[in-house]
Amino acid sequence: MASNPDEEILRLLGRRDPRGFDLAYAQYGARLFSFLNRLLGQGQQPQAEDLLQQTFLRLAERGPELRTDSDLRAWLYTVARNAFLGQMRGRKQAAEAVNLELVADYSPDAEARLMLGDVERALSRLRLDDRELLLLVGGEGLEPQTVSRMLNVEPAALRKRLARARQRLLQELERAAPRELKEVSS
Give the global pTM: 0.66
Residue type, 163: A
Structural class in CATH, domain 109-186: mainly alpha
Q: What is the DSSP string of 9-67?
A: HHHHHHTT-HHHHHHHHHHHHHHHHHHHHHHH-TT-HHHHHHHHHHHHHHHHHHGGGS-
When the pLDDT of each residue in the chain is averaged and rounded to a whole number, the result is 79
Rounded average pLDDT over 149-165: 91
* Closest residue by Cα to residue 101 from 81, 86, 79, 116: 116
**What distances in angstroms separate CA 160 from CA 6, 81, 157, 172, one per listed residue?**
30, 21, 5, 18
Percent of the chain past pLDDT 70, that is, above it, reads 75
Specify the CATH number for 1-97; select among 1.10.3720.10, 1.10.1740.10, 1.10.287.1080, 3.30.420.40: 1.10.1740.10
Would you kindly state where each structural domain of the chain is located, as residue ranges? Answer: 1-97, 109-186
Rounded average pLDDT over 45-70: 93
Whether the Cβ atoms of residue 63 and residue 132 lie closer than 8 Å to each other: no
Task: Reply yes or no on whether the pLDDT at 109 is more than 80.
Answer: no
pLDDT band at 117 (very low <50, low <70, confident <90, very high): low
